[in-house]
Structure 1
C-alpha cells in the first residue's frame, strides 16, 4: 500500500509525545539545522502549556511524521492560525503537508471562522506552492512573510455551496501558483483572486487585502462586486462607492443591499430591487481618521454591505486607510540633548492632497523646547513630502507631545486646516517622564526606558546609551489554558506615576477569556537602570477563580550567558549565542540570569520566589501560580527585575538579587573535565570528558594528547550524547598538561587542560627554630614568624621565585619594613604594626571539597596591639600536594572583636624575583593592545592583571602562573627598579564572633608561557571556607 494511503490524521495525546520528540529530532534540516534536542518530557510539558485549540498529527504505522497546530491568531481578529507545521524529511513529497493543512481548514470552517493565517520565511520555497494550492495568499510586506487563507469564508457562503458540494475545491482550483508575493495592485488596493473551474461551471472570488473581505464574486449565473475610488481616503470628504450586480440567467434575481461598514465610515445604505440583467447603485461615504493609524498587522476599517441574492447573503468588504489632509512628524538627528542646549528639529511633512498646497505650521508652546519661530511655512507638491529644519533650545528633558495646527491653501485659493500630533522624547540624566506616539507608550528615567507597543503590549526595556538591543518582554498570558487574547488588545488605560525614587508606567488590560479579570502591570524605572515589573490581578466579575496562572514571557539574547546551577555558574565563553531551547531550565538553582555583550552592555534578569523561571517554547518565561482569586479581590505579584547595565559582573547582580550568599565557581559551557576530579594519584585511570552544559548533542571527533600519547574518539549525532569520554591512565606525578582538538561538521575547537597527579612521596613539614619549611618533593616553601608574617621563599627544583631579604626585614623602595615574599595584608595595618603582633606557625592538613588532602602550614596572627583590629585573628594558609608543583594560598579571618566589620579590604601581596637579576624578570599579560610582556627592575609600571598572570625570567623554561580568585575585587601589578609586586584585593565582612574567608589563589609552576583561558583551579575550595 502506498504511504499516502497509510497516513492517518489524529489529534495529539500524551501517548504520542515520544513520537513527536523523535520527529522533531529528525527534522532539524527543515529548520536551518538547529541542534535542539527534544525529549518526550519536553513535548508533554510544551503541549500542556500550549495555546493550541487543536494539534493534528500525521501518523504512518504508529510513527509520527507530521505536525500541525491550530490556534487563535494573536495579531488580528477574525482568524485562526497555524503556529507550526512540519513534515518529517523522510516523508516529504507524499502530500502529508496537504492533508494536515486541509484538516486545519476543515476545522476552521467547522468553528465558523472566516480566515486561517500562518507565517513562514521567504526562503521556504518548498512549502510556498503547497500553501498557495491550499488557498493561502502571500502578503507583500517588508516586515513579515505572512500568508492568509480565505477558503474558510468561501466555503461558508451559502450561495456557493451548490458548486462546492459537487466539486472538490482543491482539485478544481485554477489559480496560478508562483513563488512570490501575491496580489493585483490597483488604486492602492491589493486584490487576491480565487478561481475554480469544473467543466462549464466556474466560481471566481476576489478578496481585498487590508479589509480581509470579499470585493467580487462571480459564478455562471451572476456577478456581484463593489468599487471604492481609492484605498487612501481623506476624512470628511464625500466618496462614491459603487455596488454592482449582473444577472447572466433568464430569470430575475431578488437583490437587497444593506450597509455594513466600520464605525469610522458614515454611510446610509438600504435598497431592494429585482435585477433582470444588470444593476448598480452608488453610495456616498465619508470616513473618519481613527485614533491609531491602521496597522498592516490588523484588519483596516472597511466599507461594505451585505447583499442578498434570492435570500442568500453575500458579504462585501473593502479595507480603506482614512487620512487627514496631511501629516507632520518631528525628528532629530542629534542623539543626546541636555537642558539649555541648542539644536535643530526637523518637521517632516506629507501631503495627502492631489494638488500643490502651501502650509503654515504653528509651533506649539509647551515646557520642553523653545522654538526659534512661532510658525513655519512650506510649499508641498501634491501627495509630496518636505522637511523643514527648525532651530530650538531644549528647556528640560521630557516628552514633546503636542497637537499641531496646520492652516493651508490650494493654488486656486481654497483654504483648509487640520490638527495633527507630534511626539518626540528628549531623555537625559535625571529626566523622569512619560508620553506616547501613534504606536507606543514610553516611560523614561534618565537614559533608561520602557517602551510598550500599543497593538500587542510587547514591552522593550533598554537604555538610549546602550549598544545592545533592548530586552523584550512578550505579551503576558492568563491561564490555564493560556490565552493569547492580550496580544491583540490595546491597554484600556495607561498612567504615568512619578515617584521620588523612580518613574512608573501602569497599564491595564481587561480579559475576555477570564471575564471580570483586569491585569494591571507596573513598570518601575529607577535612575540606575533597574526596572521592576509588578503584576496586579483584580477580579471585578462575579465568578471566583481557582488555579489561575499568569505567564510573563521574555526574549533575551543569551550573549556570554551566566546561568546558575547547583555546583557553579555556567558561563558562555564562546561566540555561540544559545537559543532558549538549549538551556537546561530544570537545573537552574537560583532565580536569575545574566548576559553581557562584547561592548560591555549587560542585562540582569531576576524573578521573585513565588514565580518559576522556565522555558516557554523559544522564549523564557516567569510563571505565577495564583491559586484562588475570589470575586472582588486582588492579587499582587512581583517584582520581576531587569537590570540594564546595573552591574558589570554576574556575581554583583546575584548578590544584589539574593543578598549575601556563598560564592559559586564558573563553569564554561564547553570544556574538558575529569569525571573523577581534578586531583588524582599516579596509576589512576581518569575519564576526561569533553562536555557541553547545553542540551544539544555533541558529535564529532575528539583527540587528546598527553605525554606523547594520543587518544582519539569519534561520536555520531545519532549516539545522542552531550559528553565524549576518553579514559587516560596518568603514570607520572606532577602537573600533567593535556591538549587536544574537537572537530565536527560545523565547529572546530582547540583546548588545553591539566591534571594534578599526586606522587607517592609524602609532603614533609619541618621546623628549624622559627623557620618552617614545606617540601612536597618538587618544590619547597618557607616561613619565619620572627622575620615577617608570610611565606618568604618558594623554590622549585632549587630555583627561587619569591623576592625577600631574609633573615632581616628592612626598608626597600616605598616600604619599611619590607619582608617581600607572599602574604595577606589587612587594610589599615602597616608592616610595622603587623610585626608588633605575635604570629604562630603550625603544620596543617586541609581537605578540599573533592576529598583530597592538602598539606602545608598556617600562619596565625592575633591582633592585640592594633586599635582597629584588636581581637581579630588572621590565618594565612599555604598548602600543596605530593610531587605537584602547585601551592594554594588562602586566608581566614576569625572576628573576635566586639564590633562589626563591613566591606573591609584584604590584599594578597606577592613579591616576585624568579632570577637573581630583577631586570631579567617579566610578567606576561595578554591584552588587546600591542604590548604583552613587561620587565621589572627597569622603570616604574602600574599594570592591570587579568584573571591570571605568567611570571618568568629570560633563559628559563619554567614559569610561575598566579591564578587569582574569581571573588577578587581587583588585581594589579607594580614594577620599579627595586620590586616586582603582584597584588589581588578582596573584600570581607564579619560580625563579632563570626568568621570570613578569602578563596584560594594558586601558584602553578611549569612550562606554560601564556595564561590559561580555561582551567579547573577555580573549582578547588577547602572545607570550612
Structure 2
C-alpha cells in the first residue's frame, strides 16, 4: 500500500502533531513510550526548546498528520558525531518504509552538518529494527547493549565514495551487508574493525573502520590502498611500540603522496619516518612511527574510543585521515585486597592480588615497604604482594604503591597501584574513596557496599561475598529510553553524621533540558540499612513533567 508521506524538518507549529504522535505510540516500546504521562503541546515546545538537538526530522502525510519523528543531538563525547536521540513511527503506520526514509535522511543530514558518524541505541529483542539499521549502515558494537555506529557520513567525505554516490544517492546504501541481528564482530586479521564494501561495474571500494579508534584505518580503491596499523593493540604505558603506514599504487600512473602526524593522544613520538614521495605503478611505501603512551594516564571507559595515533595522508590531491587505536594498559592492576576492611587501630599486613595486564613478561620492583620487593609476572599472570600497616584511624585508608618496570634497556618509572579500604568502627558505617576507579567503598557491621559513580549504581553484599542487593541505573523520562544516565559519571558529596554515611550523587539530565537529578543514598549500620531519596531540580522556565523509574 503506497502512502503519500514527505520527510521534512521541524517547525514550532508542529508541537500539537508531535504530542498526538507520542501519546498514540505506547505500543511497541518496552514499558510504553510515555510512562503513563500525557504529553502536551506545551511540553513538546519546552522540551525541544531546551534540548540541544542539531536536527529534528518529521514524516508527514498528505493530510498533514505527523506519523514519524527523528531527533538528533550532538554526541556526548564531542563534535565528531551526532546521535539519534529518538526515532518513533506511529504504530498504525509502521512497516511502510517511513523509518527507513527518516534514517536515510538522518545519515545525509549528519553529512551535511559536517559529522563523521551518526549513532543510536536499541535493544536486542528489536530484531526488525536491527535489520533495518544494519541495512542502512549501522554497526552493532560488540559487547554493548545495543549501541550502533554508522560511519557513512564521514565516508561520504572520501573522494572515491563521493564519486560513487554522485551517480545515484541510493548507491551509498548499496554496500555488502550482513543483516543478522547479532553483534558486528568483524576482523581484519586480528584487528577489530567494521568493513564497508561496495562493488559496482567491476570496481571495488573498501573502507575499514578501526573499532578501537572509531575512525578510518584503511581504504582500498582502484587507484591505491592505504592503511595505518600498530604492532601492539594493548601496549604497556611507558614502553615503546610501533605504528606502520603503508601506501600501494594500484594505478597505471605515478602517484604523489605526503603524510604527516595529526595527533598522538597522551603519547610521545620517539621516532618517525613519515615523509612525502612518488610511487610508480605497483610500488609500495612503508613508514614506521615509534611511540609510547605516557605513564599515569587513566583507562578509557568502555563506551569511549581508545587512544589512537592519527595521520593525515594526501595521495595525488585526495586527502584523508587515518587512525590506529590501541587499548593501552598499566603494567599491573589490583584485583583484590585482603582483608577487605580494617578494624580501627589495626596493625598488620594487607595482601594485594595483582595481575599483569600485558602480553609481556614483566619484572616489577616496588618503591614502598612491600614483600617481595621484586615481582615477576608472566603474561596475563597473577601474583601477591604484602604491605605492612600500623595503627589505622577510624576512617578509610587509600594505599598507593609506587613501582617501576625493569626492562632489558632501562627501568621505567611513573607507575602506582592504588587500593581503597574502609576502616571499621563499632556500630558505624565507614567509607573510602578510590578516585582512580571512580568508586566509593563502604563498610558496616553487617554488610559491604560499593557506589560506582559511572551510572550511579549501588552494590551491597555480605562480608562473605553473597549479594544482598543491587540498585541499577535509574531511568528518567518520558521518554525513558534510551537511558542517558547509564553513561553519566555522577558528581559526589559525602556527609558523615553520627553512625551513618550519606552519599549524594548529582547529574545533569540533558533530555530534560539540563534539569539536575540528585540521588541521595543513606547508609546506616542497622535497619533500614540503605535509604534512597531523589530530587529533581528544574532549571528551565516552564513546568517540567517527569518520572523516575
Q: Quickly say closer, same or farther: Cα 1:243–1:356, change in 2 above 3 A.
A: closer
Q: 1:273 aligns with which of 266, 274, 277?
A: 277
Q: 2:532 aligns with which of 603, 620, 625?
A: 603
- Offset of 1:151 from its aligned partner? 0.8
> Which deviates more, 442-451 or 417-426?
442-451
- Pairwise CA RMSD of aligned residues? 4.2
Query: Residue 555 of structure 1 contacts residue 619 of structure 1 at CA under 8 Å; is this kept in 2?
Result: no
Matched residue SS, 1:16: helix
Q: 2:326 aligns with which of 311, 316, 320?
A: 320
Residue 47 of structure 2 corresponds to which residue in structure 1? 46
Note if 1:329 corresponds to 2:334.
yes
Q: 2:224 aligns with which of 222, 233, 237?
A: 222
- Offset of 1:73 from its aligned partner? 1.3
Residue 161 of structure 1 corresponds to which residue in structure 2? 162
Q: How does 1:816-835 map to 2 (within 5 A)?
A: none
Note if 1:423 corresponds to 2:425.
no
Q: Normalising by the residue count of structure 2, what TM-score does the alignment of the two structures yield?
A: 0.79
Q: Quickly say closer, same or farther: Cα 1:125–1:391, change in 2 above 3 A.
A: farther
**Structure 2 Cα separation of the partners of residues 69 and 93 of structure 1:** 20
Q: How does 1:304-315 map to 2 (within 5 A)?
A: 304-315=310-321
- Offset of 1:531 from its aligned partner? 5.7
Please list the CA deviations of residues 833-882 of structure 1 after superposition, one character each: whole Å capped at 9, or x if unmatched.
xxxxxxxxxxxxxxxxxxxxxxxxxxxxxxxxxxxxxxxxxxxxxxxxxx
Note if 1:403 corresponds to 2:393.
no
Q: How does 1:464-613 map to 2 (within 5 A)?
A: 469=470, 524-527=495-498, 528-530=500-502, 551-554=515-518, 601-605=530-534
Query: Residue 115 of structure 2 contacts residue 153 of structure 2 at CA under 8 Å; is this kept in 1?
Result: yes
Query: Residue 165 of structure 2 contacts residue 172 of structure 2 at CA under 8 Å; is this kept in 1?
Result: no
**Structure 1 Cα separation of the partners of residues 390 and 545 of structure 2:** 48
Q: 1:31 aligns with which of 26, 29, 32?
A: 29
Matched residue SS, 2:112: helix
Q: Quickly say closer, same or farther: Cα 1:86–1:471, change in 2 above 3 A.
A: closer
Please list the CA deviations of residues 964-1009 of structure 1 after superposition, one character each: whole Å capped at 9, or x if unmatched.
xxxxxxxxxxxxxxxxxxxxxxxxxxxxxxxxxxxxxxxxxxxxxx
Q: Quickly say closer, same or farther: Cα 1:22–1:436, change in 2 above 3 A.
A: same
Residue 152 of structure 1 corresponds to which residue in structure 2? 153
**Structure 1 Cα separation of the partners of residues 240 and 31 of structure 2:** 56
Q: Quickly say closer, same or farther: Cα 1:279–1:306, change in 2 above 3 A.
A: same
Q: How does 1:824-973 map to 2 (within 5 A)?
A: none
**Structure 1 Cα separation of the partners of residues 88 and 315 of structure 2:** 42
**Structure 2 Cα separation of the partners of residues 183 and 362 of structure 1:** 42
Please list the CA deviations of residues 23-55 of structure 1 after superposition, one character each: whole Å capped at 9, or x if unmatched.
333332321253524332443343333232222
Query: Residue 471 of structure 1 contacts residue 555 of structure 1 at CA under 8 Å; is this kept in 2?
Result: no
**Structure 1 Cα separation of the partners of residues 136 and 545 of structure 2:** 30
Q: Quickly say closer, same or farther: Cα 1:401–1:263, change in 2 above 3 A.
A: same
- Offset of 1:360 from its aligned partner? 4.8
**Structure 2 Cα separation of the partners of residues 76 and 610 of structure 1:** 23
Q: How does 1:710-859 map to 2 (within 5 A)?
A: none
Q: Quickly say closer, same or farther: Cα 1:80–1:352, change in 2 above 3 A.
A: same
Q: Quickly say closer, same or farther: Cα 1:468–1:344, change in 2 above 3 A.
A: farther
> Which deviates more, 289-298 or 125-134?
289-298
Matched residue SS, 2:104: helix
Matched residue SS, 2:263: coil
Please list the CA deviations of residues 261-284 of structure 1 after superposition, one character each: whole Å capped at 9, or x if unmatched.
324333335411111222222213
Q: Normalising by the residue count of structure 1, what TM-score does the alignment of the two structures yield?
A: 0.45
Identify unmatched segments of 5+ residues in structure 2.
477-483, 508-512, 522-526
- Offset of 1:209 from its aligned partner? 0.7
For the pair shown, the structure with the greater C-alpha radius of gyration is 1
**Which is bigger in relative contact order (C-alpha 8 A, separation at least 6)?**
2
Query: Residue 344 of structure 2 contacts residue 423 of structure 2 at CA under 8 Å; is this kept in 1?
Result: no
Query: Residue 429 of structure 2 contacts residue 501 of structure 2 at CA under 8 Å; is this kept in 1?
Result: no
Note if 1:383 corresponds to 2:387.
no
**Structure 2 Cα separation of the partners of residues 197 and 471 of structure 1:** 46
**Structure 2 Cα separation of the partners of residues 375 and 362 of structure 1:** 11
Q: Quickly say closer, same or farther: Cα 1:337–1:386, change in 2 above 3 A.
A: same
Matched residue SS, 1:129: helix
Query: Residue 340 of structure 2 contacts residue 421 of structure 2 at CA under 8 Å; is this kept in 1?
Result: no
Residue 141 of structure 1 corresponds to which residue in structure 2? 143
Please list the CA deviations of residues 593-647 of structure 1 after superposition, one character each: whole Å capped at 9, or x if unmatched.
xxxxx97743344579999997565659xxxxxxxxxxxxxxxxxxxxxxxxxxx
Matched residue SS, 2:298: coil
Matched residue SS, 2:106: helix
Query: Residue 333 of structure 2 contacts residue 357 of structure 2 at CA under 8 Å; is this kept in 1?
Result: no
- Offset of 1:488 from its aligned partner? 9.1
- Offset of 1:118 from its aligned partner? 1.1
Residue 125 of structure 2 corresponds to which residue in structure 1? 123
Residue 510 of structure 2 corresponds to which residue in structure 1? none
- Offset of 1:297 from its aligned partner? 1.6
**Structure 1 Cα separation of the partners of residues 397 and 217 of structure 2:** 43
- Offset of 1:432 from its aligned partner? 7.5
Please list the CA deviations of residues 524-565 of structure 1 after superposition, one character each: whole Å capped at 9, or x if unmatched.
554444567899xxxxxxxxxxxxx963124699xxxxxxxx
- Offset of 1:449 from its aligned partner? 9.4
Query: Residue 363 of structure 1 contacts residue 374 of structure 1 at CA under 8 Å; is this kept in 2?
Result: no
Note if 1:283 corresponds to 2:284.
no
**Residues paired across the two proteins, number:** 513
**Structure 1 Cα separation of the partners of residues 218 and 539 of structure 2:** 56
Residue 980 of structure 1 corresponds to which residue in structure 2? none
Residue 99 of structure 1 corresponds to which residue in structure 2? 101
Matched residue SS, 1:323: coil
Note if 1:252 corresponds to 2:277.
no
**Structure 2 Cα separation of the partners of residues 613 and 553 of structure 1:** 17
**Structure 1 Cα separation of the partners of residues 141 and 58 of structure 2:** 27
**Structure 2 Cα separation of the partners of residues 352 and 452 of structure 1:** 22
**Structure 1 Cα separation of the partners of residues 401 and 338 of structure 2:** 22
